[in-house]
Structure 1
C-alpha cells in the first residue's frame, strides 16, 4: 500500500501533513516524510510499514495514521 501526500490524523488526535516518501540511504527501507501541524511544526520520518500499521489503545484498534484529505 502506498502513502499519498495530504493530511492525516494520528490515532492520538494530532494532525500531520505527509510530504512524501523517501528511502533510507543504507537499508533502502521506504520511509514516510511528514510534518506536524502543531507546536514547532517539526519534520518527522517513520518507516512506511509502521506508518500504515494498526495500534491498540484502551482495548480498541486504530490505524496509526488515518488519511483525512489531500
Structure 2
C-alpha cells in the first residue's frame, strides 16, 4: 500500500516514540527542490518542523528504540475524543 501524505493533510500522526503531530502540508525545499512534510507538535510549545518526505514515510530503523511498536516512523493516529464529559 502506497502511503500518500498529501491525502493526510490536517490529520494527526504519532511518531514511533509516542508524541503526536498535526500534518500541515507538503512543501518544497527552496534550494534542493526536495519534497518535505511540514508538521506541528501537539505538545509543549507546539513548534513546527519539516522532515524529508521519504524519511517521514519510512519504516522505523531497526537500531532505534521503538516504544510504540509501530511499523513506520510516523503513522496516522485516530483521536477518539478530546471531550472529558
Q: Same fold by TM (over 0.5)?
A: yes
Identify the match of residue 8 of structure 1 among 8, 13, 20.
Answer: 13
Question: Relative contact order, CA 8 A, sep 6+: which one is greater?
Answer: 1
2:24 counterpart (19, 27, 33): 19
TM-score by length of 1: 0.87
Counterpart CA distance in 2 for 1:36 and 1:58 is: 20
The list of structure 1 runs, each at least 4 consecutive aligned residues, that deviate by more than 4 angstroms after superposition, is 58-61
Q: Where does residue 53 of structure 1 map in the other structure? A: 58
TM-score under structure 2 length normalisation: 0.72
Unaligned runs of 5+ in 2: 79-85
Q: For 2:70 and 2:50, how far apart are their aligned partners in 1?
A: 23
The answer for unaligned runs of 5 or more in structure 1 is none
After TM superposition, give the deviation of residue 61 of structure 1 in Å.
6.6
Structure (1 or 2) with the larger CA radius of gyration: 2
Pairwise CA RMSD: 1.8
Q: Which structure: greater strand fraction?
A: 1
